[in-house]
Amino acid sequence: MIDGNASDFIDKITFQEEAVIYKGKKYFFHGLIYDPISKNYSFEIHLWDSSDNYVETVYECIAETQNECMEKVLTEPIIDGKCFWDIEQEMTWIEW
């Protein structure tokens, strides 16, 4: 990960929001969100334009536990059909 450490990034996105630039596009990783009604955790990644406007949700998952949800975020295709570990070396961690 450019301008950061992948392990630190994962620690941060588990409980808060962080942003990256990947292939010239800005992506916003939301931290885990717990829904007390369904008793599930969710995670979303949004694409934003150069004017900091929301464009679309590029990834979302739901799981019964925090660990299961984060495992999905790290191993499922999240951006351009690739998983986090496939692209993390090309992502630049930025201040939001």
Q: DSSP label at 61?
A: E
Q: Is the pLDDT of residue 96 over 80?
A: no
CB 2 within 8 A of CB 15: no
Question: How much is the mean pLDDT over the chain?
Answer: 96
* Distance from C-alpha of 17 to C-alpha of 32, rounded to nearest angstrom: 9
CB 85 within 8 A of CB 74: yes
| 71-95 confidence digits (pLDDT tens) | 999 999 999 999 999 999 999 999 8
Q: DSSP label at 83?
A: -
Residue 95 is predicted with a pLDDT of 87
